[in-house]
């Protein structure tokens, strides 16, 4: 493999760049713009047991260094993903894809993961216990080590593919939750999901988004993400995928030095749909500038 390649839980990636769930749809939309096979892989839109319309609008608010979203896991449900979305994706993406899963009960998580685990195209299951903009589920599982571990045990009992748990930064001790997930059988950790944020329309004297609060993402959260990736990667023995405000090849390298095996890119895709392609193309130049021969060599070099 080339100098950009990394191994993520037994699957070799051409590069560590992974569009994050919720920012890349089910892939085929971006395939109209460029060959998405240049990606390491991507995490498809968060999928739940039943179809969801999501939260009421408006549900996006701009910020000076990012954005707030409260989309609320809008998706067609796991049956439609399997019958419609994955066959469309297969026509334009010849690599394994990461399936992002959300739920409102432990049983929901187990059901959806078991269904997607049986799909040949799915290489990894990214279990989202950290969504900050839905009521009655999502982040509530990710704010407690015991609750997160319960989800992991239920999913691992019905799946064979690697299970990556996506954690929330909106907690007191993210390391404790990561370690609980590892002890329960998680194969990897991805973090961070969005921070909880809010904007107020001062002219109308009310919140900008209908849900009042939502997930804050973008370059402003990058230092928080690097810190949490560093803490978690040094506390667990399983691979960590870093994300949160990544917007350049330099950011990817910084995240990997902090301990990430691969790096997801989220909000930047909404600013520039070619963002991931540009970052991948720029990585060799940045590696040369900083005298990095292979990306594998820099994972977790910060003590």
For residue 126, give its domain range.
6-298
pLDDT over threshold 80, residue 179: yes
206 forms beta bridges with 201
DSSP-assigned beta bridge partners for residue 217? 67
| Residue 1 resides in a domain | no
For residue 203, what is the DSSP state?
A: T
pTM for this structure?
0.94
Mean pLDDT of the chain: 94
**Marked catalytic residue, from 113, 131, 181, 276:** 131
The whole-number average pLDDT for the span 272-283 is 98
140-161: pLDDT as tens digits: 688 889 999 999 999 999 999 9
Residue 294 lies in a domain: yes
Q: Looking at the domain assignment, is residue 152 inside a domain?
A: yes
What's the mean pLDDT in 269-288?
Answer: 97
Asked if residue 51 belongs to a domain, the reply is yes
Q: Taking residues 29-40, what's their average pLDDT? A: 97
Residue 303 is assigned to a structural domain of this protein = no
Cis amide linkage into residue 192, ω under 30° from 0:
yes
292-297: long-range contacts (C-beta < 8 A, 24 or more apart)?
A: 292/253, 293/3, 294/3, 294/5, 295/3, 295/4, 295/5, 295/6, 295/15, 295/16, 295/253, 295/256, 296/5, 296/6, 296/7
Q: How many domains does the chain have?
A: 1
Outline where DSSP puts E strands in 85-166.
Answer: 97-101, 122-128, 163-166
* In a domain? residue 32: yes
For residue 114, the domain's CATH number is 3.20.20.70
Segment among 1-5, 134-138, 155-159, 191-195 with least mean pLDDT: 134-138
Share of the chain above pLDDT 90, in %: 87
Residues 47, 217: Cα–Cα separation, whole Å: 20
pLDDT tens-digit readout, 224-274? 999 999 999 999 999 999 999 999 999 999 999 999 999 999 999 999 999
| Residue 153 forms part of a structural domain | yes
Question: Has 131 been annotated as catalytic?
Answer: yes
188-191 sheet: strands from edge to edge = 17-19, 262-265, 240-243, 188-191, 163-166, 122-128, 97-101
pLDDT of the residue at 138: 47
Q: What is the pLDDT of residue 139?
A: 54
- Which pLDDT value is given to residue 133? 42
């Amino acid at each position: 493999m080339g100098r950009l390649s990394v191994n993520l839980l037994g699957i070799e990636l051409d590069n560590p760049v992974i569009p994050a769930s919720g920012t890349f749809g089910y892939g085929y939309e971006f395939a109209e713009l460029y060959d998405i096979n240049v990606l390491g892989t991507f995490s498809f839109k968060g999928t739940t047991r039943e179809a969801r319309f999501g939260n009421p609008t408006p549900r996006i608010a701009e910020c000076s260094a990012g954005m707030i979203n409260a989309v609320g896991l809008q998706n067609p449900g796991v049956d439609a993903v399997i019958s419609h979305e994955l066959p469309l994706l297969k026509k334009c993406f010849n690599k394994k894809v990461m399936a992002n899963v959300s739920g409102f009960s432990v049983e929901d998580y187990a059901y959806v993961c078991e269904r997607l685990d049986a799909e040949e195209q799915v290489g990894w299951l990214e279990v989202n216990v950290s969504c900050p903009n839905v009521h009655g589920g999502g982040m509530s599982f990710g704010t407690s080590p015991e609750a997160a571990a319960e989800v992991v045990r239920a999913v691992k009992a019905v799946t064979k593919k690697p299970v990556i748990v996506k954690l929330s930064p909106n907690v007191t001790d993210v390391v404790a939750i990561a370690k609980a997930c590892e002890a329960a059988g998680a194969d990897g950790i991805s973090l961070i999901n969005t921070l909880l944020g809010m904007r107020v329309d001062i002219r109308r004297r009310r919140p900008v988004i209908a849900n009042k609060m939502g997930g804050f993402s973008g370059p402003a959260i990058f230092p928080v993400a690097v810190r949490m990736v560093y803490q978690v990667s040094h506390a667990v023995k399983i691979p960590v995928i870093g994300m949160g405000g990544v917007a350049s090849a330099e950011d990817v390298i910084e995240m990997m030095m902090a301990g990430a095996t691969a790096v997801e890119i989220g909000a930047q895709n909404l600013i520039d749909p070619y963002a991931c392609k540009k970052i991948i193309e720029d990585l060799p130049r940045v590696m040369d500038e900083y005298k990095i021969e292979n990306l594998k060599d820099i994972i977790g070099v910060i003590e």
